[in-house]
Chain A
Amino acid sequence: MAYILLGIVLLPLLGSIINGLLGKKLSKSNVATIASGSIGLSFVLSIIAFIQLQSAENRVINVDYYKWVVSGMLDVPMGFWLDSLSSLYILVITGVGFLIHVYSIGYMHEDDGFSRYFSYLNLFVFFMLMLVLGNSYVTMFVGWEGVGLCSYLLIGFWFKNHAYNDAAKKAFIMNRIGDLGFILGMALLFITYGSLNYADLNKPGAITYTSATTAIALLLFLGATGKSAQIPLYTWLPDAMAGPTPVSALIHAATMVTAGIYMVVRSNAIYSLSETASLVVGIVGGVTALWAAIIATLQFDIKKILAYSTVSQLGLMFLGLGANAYSSSVFHVITHAFFKALLFLGAGSVIHAMGGEQDIRKMGGLSKKIPTTYLTMLIATIAISGIPPFSGFFSKDEILAHVYEYNKGLWALGVIASMLTAFYMFRMLFLTFWGYFRGGSELYKHLHESPSVMTIPLMILAVLSVIGGLLGLPELIGAKNWIGHYLDNVILIKTYLGLSHSIEWMLMGIAVAGAVASIYFAYQLFVINGVLPVEDEAELKWWQKIIYHKFYVDELYDFIIRRPIDFLGKVVDRFFEKMVFNGINDSISSITLFLGEWIRKIHIGNIAYYIMAMTISIIVILSMIK
């Protein structure tokens, strides 16, 4: 087993190294085979690991390879921890990752940085696997930082474009703010509970409520808000769409951004113990879900819409975590990975067909030209909108049922966000695929379906988006909720769904009715009435302008954080750096050099002088004897 886990993690790294060092000398097909093949093998090994895990004691396999950090009380092994939670994550990462690698072969085919792209992407998968498989918080942190690095590299992949570089830097810096919280939380966790290894922390009674518990939970959650793009650190994710579209699908939708969810579920004992922390997580999640959904309704860039949709869906997952419905959130992570990856890859296919155009105002009527893309995206849109029996319905419904039990106000936030989701997703679908083409006849002739290397992953993901719900069919309809039971041994402190069946039916009904109503409203607006988004910003009403400009959050951050820091930086630079410190440093160095010159000259080369100096020294020394 130790070797299987090692293979899962190291194969992508190997692929990355080969492509990174030799990529320029290999042919494109070799690069593609190495990159996709390493992930594919890793996926096969993940399946084997998953099957073997089922027969393991307590369904946990802990492998230590070597002692990594030993310092005082701190004893961190380098090793892997395979349990119910990480086994699901590695399947999603390698499975969806493999499909996206295959898709990328088609999408990136004309790019000069073909091998560099695959090297980064493989490296990302390596770090992501480290993140979820590591058997301590420190190893998780290695992956956590590593995926941040790869995210940075891939957002700024087309580094000749200055705006893209800025987006990459923004993502990195926002994440660093969160990482600070993660590090502090980790330190406090170590001080409070004496270990950072899952093996120690998962022992019964290892985690009890202390005065530091809430602080640990909130600090770790700050880390999660960075990586998983929640208020207040979410603004990097929409800008991260500067990277190639498959990257958006893999990193900024399906896997990396769900690392925050993974981390909270991994630390579920701490969150379950602290009611305050849970409430904060729930409120932040709920507000983010609604906030991002509102912004998404007025965006024109197809990838931006999907980006805000991701932020919103992640908010929904955190809402579930706040209600301590850990397995439901993980369930939604998985279904979301399927349909959101599909949406992004579909959007990539659209952009591919449109020759790089991302503005939905210039699209329309594409369903006839690119039918496969249209059909698969339709499935994904229905799934994300929460229409039964598609996968998104079951996971979303499970979260909302738990949240209803936990706090009705937060539930309302979730329901409104879900309705808005259905609305803006169908708005995007209608404007893109229905009606008539608005991009000009020149472009219309150019429209073409993507090659099958791109469409086959779409179809596979479409199937998964439809049937993904099977993982967690609710007990309400007589099923077993497999995922809920499967994750049971990871959740240290359990909360049970205690709602009566009638209320559950009612909640389901409200959710479905809301979604259908939203879709109908979008249909009325964009298909029957043929409303088109305005071309010119000036025609927007004042409230639309606010939403279109994303509530001016970037501008606000710029004003209250960046400018004061810039100002402070200038003051420190002009006064302290240039005048005080440079002055002190310069004088220290000139004094030192002066002394050097002076002391050097006492060695004049004359023996008589030397012996005299030595004799005087000897006299002084002998007189020093006590």
Chain B
Amino acid sequence: MTALILILITGVLALSAEIFNLKKVLYPLSILGILVALGLNFVEWHQPFSWKYSDNMVKFDNLALAFSSVLLVTVFLWFLMSKSYFNEETNLVEHTSLVLFSLIGAMLLVAFNNLVTLFLGVEILSIPLYVLAASNKKNILSNEAGFKYLIMGSFASGFLLFGIALMYGLAGSFDLFTITNALSTDKVPNFAYVGIIMILIALAFKVSIAPFHFWTPDVYEGSPVVITALMSTIVKTAVFVAIMKLFLWYFYPAYGHYVEIIAAMILISLVIANFSALRQNNVKRLLAFSSISHAAIMMLLIIADVRNASTVNALLYYTFAYSVASIAAFASIHFVTGGKEETLDTLKGLMYKHPFIGVSLLIALLSMAGIPVTAGFFAKYYVLNALLMSSYKWMIIAAILASILGVVYYLRIALKLFEVDKKQDNGIIALSTREVFLLGLSVLLLIVVGIYPDIIANTFLK
């Protein structure tokens, strides 16, 4: 809880930096705030905090602490990657504070205990991102991305609100504990199920599960690379915790009414995402489809119907592995393209031009593809392992077939790295110490966690 408050203070400080002319310390201040918040999370471990004065609106238990730590690590890595984004004199303050506020929304989403905080979390997470997506003001694509994201996001928010209203109609309260009890009774009115589905639709939109994923490729492509990296990591982590809490715990009495719908959505996502990615030539668009595919795999945890610590562990491991690999991949692409267009051909011959970035990108891709030694392997393994005991065993085969297609398009990028570039014009890419540290740290994390998965996968004991 103190971490959340600290980030809020940092954000407000960032906003006022312009007034006090403190622009230069803004960047180190943000990083410091994040690191201290991360430390506070460790201090508070095993000391659950409940906001009793506001009707148990948020609950900072171990689950919230663990996932908010993943968020903080992600944003820490993100800041290391995005220094150039803060180099422009204009809008510096807004950029910093919007990112931090978005992070607050994400942290609320892993700690909510009430449908009001859920809505607040989703909106605080999303609204800064609408603005950030359009932050490359001179680029028409960036403007388009922000606008599209805003319109379709509002559409989804409407559904979320509608669903929450229906749940209030059921229980007469926003408190999730009360709602669970109301769902457990014999006579549950049908509109309650409609409400649950509407909340599901809204959250599926946020994590880009098909058929609510349409915004993803366009917004990922149009936004600045660094913002795409932020969107694809913290949004997924935060909203998936919310999905897990709602659909495996709080709404569980109604499980039979929505599990098939989720299964169908996963299947459609796997097909659309993996097939669409095969022929993409824009790296950001390709990674957008890859993120849809990853979301579908994480969603499998819901239909696996394992309601114990192992599911939480699996999600924690997956979000961590996916976030770190994403940051490493987007960072590599960002360093290579430097804001220019991100087609596959810009990565040509990277292994020879800059082997360090090449190897980092390669390992990030291998982790996303789920190749052993990297963290991505165990991430997938835990999810599929959970499915083994469920009634959706056949979904394992679908997921593995999808992963095979995944290997095709990840290796398509990897292959480009080894191609000899005939035009020797791209010049030399010089990395700063910070950037080397970022890539090195990400790759190290991916491999260490891939070899000793227990470091993370044993966080919550059975």
Q: A599-B272, A626-B257 are in contact. Are A617 and B279 (CB under 8 A)?
A: no
How many Å from the CB of A72 to the closest CB on chain B? 15
Q: How large is the interface on A (under 10, 10 to 19, 20 to 34, 35 or more residues)?
A: 20 to 34
Which of A600, A613, A622 gathers the greatest number of chain B CB atoms within 10 Å?
A600
Query: Cα distance A607–B256 when bound, in Å?
Result: 33
The one of B211, B256, B261, B264 in contact with A614, judged by C-beta atoms closer than 8 angstroms, is B211
Q: Bound state CA distance, A617 and B152, in angstroms?
A: 14
**Chain A minimum-CB-distance residue to B217:** A603
CB-based contact B275/A625 at 8 Å: no
Known: A593-B278, A593-B279. Contact between A605 and B218, CB under 8 A? yes
- B199 nearest CB across to chain A (Å): 12
Known: A607-B152, A614-B155, A622-B194. A597 touches B214 (CB 8 A): no
Please state if B155 and A599 are interface contacts (CB–CB under 8 Å): no
CB-CB < 8 A to A622: which residues of B? 194, 197
Residue A532, interface by CB 8 Å: no
Q: Judging by beta carbons under 8 Å apart, are B279 and A610 in contact?
A: no
Known contacts: A603-B214, A614-B214, A624-B260. The answer to whether A592 contacts B152 by CB under 8 A is no
Nearest-Cβ distance from residue B161 to partner chain A, whole angstroms: 15
A625 touches B193 (CB 8 A): yes
Given contacts A600-B275, A621-B201, contact A614 B260 (CB under 8 A): no
Interface-central residue, B197, B212, B276, B277, by most chain A CB under 10 Å:
B276
Interface flags, A580-608, vs B, CB<8A=1, else 0: 00000000000011011101101101010
Q: How many angstroms from the CA of A621 to the CA of B271 in the assembled complex? A: 18
- Chain A contacts for B212, CB-based, 8 A: 614, 617
Using A596-B275, A603-B217, A611-B155 as known contacts, say yes or no to A621 and B197 having CB atoms under 8 A apart.
yes
Docked Cα-Cα span, A595 to B278, in Å, equals 9
| Known contacts A625-B193, A626-B257: A596-B214 contact under CB 8 Å | no
Chain B hits for A603, CB < 8 A: 214, 217-218, 276
Residues of chain A lying within 8 A (CB to CB) of residue B205? 614
Query: How far apart are the CA atoms of A590 and B405 in the complex, in Å?
Result: 13
Among residues of B, the one whose C-beta sits closest to the C-beta of A612 is B214
Among candidates A600, A605, A617, A625, residue contacting B194 with C-beta atoms closer than 8 Å: A625
Quick check: A596 and B279 within 8 Å, CB to CB?
yes
- Shortest Cβ distance from residue B373 to the other chain A in the assembled complex, whole angstroms: 18
Give the complex CA separation of A89 and B276 in angstroms: 62
A622 CB → nearest B CB, Å: 6
Nearest CB in chain A: distance from B112 CB, A: 24
Separation of A607 and B222 alpha carbons in the complex (Å): 14
The answer to whether A600 and B280 have CB atoms under 8 Å apart is yes
Confirm or deny: A618 has a beta carbon within 8 angstroms of a beta carbon on chain B. Answer: yes
Interface-centre pick from B190, B218, B256 (highest chain A CB count, 10 A): B218
Q: Which A residue's beta carbon lies closest to that of B200?
A: A621
Find out whether the CB atom of A611 lies under 8 angstroms from the CB atom of B152. Answer: yes
Give the residues in chain A near B280, CB-CB below 8 Å.
Answer: 600
Closest residue of A by beta carbon distance from B196: A625
Contact among A599, A607, A614, A618 with B276 in the assembled complex (CB-CB below 8 Å): A599
Chain B interface main SS type: helix
A288 to chain B, nearest CB (A): 44
When the two chains form the complex, which single residue of A605, A610, A624 contacts B261, counting CB atoms closer than 8 Å? A624
Say how far A455's CB is from chain B's closest CB, in angstroms. 51
Please name all residues of chain A whose beta carbon is closer than 8 Å to the beta carbon of B278 when the two chains form the complex: 592-593, 596-597, 600
Partner of A617, one of B211, B215, B258, B271: B211
Interface size class on chain B is 20 to 34
Q: Give the interface SS of chain A, mostly helix, strand, loop or mixed.
A: helix
Which B residues, 278 to 333, have Cβ-Cβ distances below 8 Å to chain A?
Answer: 278-280
- How far is A605 from B220 in the complex, measured between Cα atoms in Å? 12
Cβ of B148 within 8 Å of any chain A Cβ, yes or no, is: yes
B151, CB-defined interface residue at 8 Å? yes
CB distance from B367 to the nearest CB of A (A): 23
Question: What A residues does B211 contact at CB under 8 A?
Answer: 613-614, 617
A475-B214 Cα distance, complex, nearest whole Å: 91
Q: Is the CB of A626 within 8 A of B218?
A: no
B-side contacts of A602, CB under 8 Å? 272, 276
Q: How far is the CA of A597 from the CA of B281 in the complex (A)?
A: 11
**A595–B275 touching, CB < 8 Å:** yes
Distance from A34 Cβ to chain B, minimum over Cβ atoms (Å) = 31
Contact B261 A621 (CB under 8 A): yes
B214 contacts A613, C-beta separation under 8 Å: yes
CA distance A102 to B204 in the complex (A): 72
Q: In whole angstroms, how far apart are the Cα atoms of A595 and B402 in the complex?
A: 14
CB under 8 Å from chain B, chain A span 297-341: none
Residue of A599, A602, A613 with highest tally of chain B CB at under 10 A = A599
Please give me the residue from chain B that is nearest to A603 by CB atom: B217
Please determine whether A600 and B276 come into contact, CB atoms closer than 8 angstroms: yes
Minimum C-beta distance from B157 to chain A (A): 13
* Residue from A610, A624, A625 within 8 A of B214 (CB atoms): A610
Q: With both chains docked as a complex, state the minimum distance between the C-beta of A611 and any C-beta of chain B, in angstroms.
A: 6
Give CA–CA (A624, B258) in the complex, Å.
9
Q: Are B148 and A607 in contact (CB under 8 A)?
A: yes
Contact of B197 among A593, A596, A597, A625 (CB under 8 A): A625
A599-B275 in contact given A607-B148, A610-B152, A618-B201 (Cβ < 8 Å): yes
Min CB–CB distance A384 → chain B (angstroms): 51
Give Cα distance in the complex from A600 to B201, angstroms: 22
A614's nearest neighbour on chain B, judged by CB, is B212
Q: Which B residues are in CB contact (< 8 Å) with A618?
A: 159, 201
Kindly name the residue among B159, B197, B278 whose own CB sees the greatest number of chain A CB atoms within 10 A.
B278
Contacting residues, chain B, for A611 (C-beta < 8 A): 151-152, 155
Greatest chain B CB density within 10 A among A593, A613, A617, A621 is at A621
Over the window 91-105 of chain B, the binary record of Cβ atoms lying under 8 Å from chain A Cβ atoms (1 yes, 0 no) is 000000000000000
Q: Which residues on the A side are within 8 Å of B405 (C-beta)?
A: 592
Chain A proximity of B232: nearest CB distance (Å): 17
Contact with A along B158-186 (1 / 0, CB 8 A): 01000000000000000000000000000
CA of A625 to CA of B262, assembled, Å:
11
Chain B residues contacting A614 (CB-CB under 8 Å) are 152, 155, 205, 211-212, 214
- Closest A residue to B216 by CB, please name it: A603
Min CB gap A624→B, angstroms:
6
Closest chain-A Cβ to B420's Cβ sits at a distance in Å of: 25
Residues of A within 8 Å of B260, CB to CB, are 624
Shortest Cβ gap from B194 to chain A (Å) = 6
Report the Cα distance A622→B405, complex, angstroms. Answer: 31
Q: Mark B201-242, 1 if CB is under 8 A from A, else 0.
A: 100010000011011011000000000000000000000000
CA distance A415 to B31 in the complex (A): 86
Give bound CA distance, A592 to B215, whole Å. Answer: 24
In this complex, what residue of B is CB-closest to A595? B275
For the complex, give the distance between the alpha carbons of A157 and B258 in Å: 66
Q: Which one of B151, B155, B276 lies within 8 Å of A596 (CB-CB)?
A: B276
Interface residues as binary, A139-150 with B (CB distance below 8 Å gives 1, 0 otherwise)? 000000000000
- B272 and A607 form a contact (CB under 8 A): no
A residues less than 8 Å from B194 (CB atoms):
622, 625
How close is B339's CB to chain A, nearest CB, in angstroms?
Answer: 22
Chain A residues with CB below 8 A from B271, complex form: 599
Cα distance, A595 to B276, chains bound together (Å): 8
Would you give the shortest CB distance from B453 to chain A, in whole angstroms?
Answer: 15
CB distance from A338 to the nearest CB of B (A): 46
How long is the Cα–Cα vector from A592 to B190 in the complex, in angstroms?
Answer: 41
Per the 8 Å Cβ criterion, residues 30-51 of B in contact with A are none
User: Are A626 and B256 neighbours in the complex by a CB distance under 8 Å?
Assistant: yes
Residues of B within 8 Å of A625, CB to CB, are 190, 193-194, 197, 257-258, 261
Task: Find the B residue at minimum CB distance from A624.
Answer: B261
Give chain B nearest CB distance to A593 CB in angstroms: 6
A497-515 vs B, CB cutoff 8 Å, 1 = contact: the mask equals 0000000000000000000
Give the 3 A-B residue pairs with the shortest CB-CB distance, closest first: A596-B278, A610-B214, A617-B211
Q: Can you report 5 residue pairs joining A to B where beta carbons are below 8 Å apart?
A: A592-B275, A597-B278, A600-B278, A607-B151, A611-B151
15 further A-B contacts with Cβ under 8 Å, apart from A597-B278, A622-B194, are A592-B275, A596-B275, A596-B278, A597-B279, A599-B271, A600-B276, A600-B279, A600-B280, A603-B276, A611-B152, A617-B212, A621-B197, A621-B201, A625-B197, A625-B261
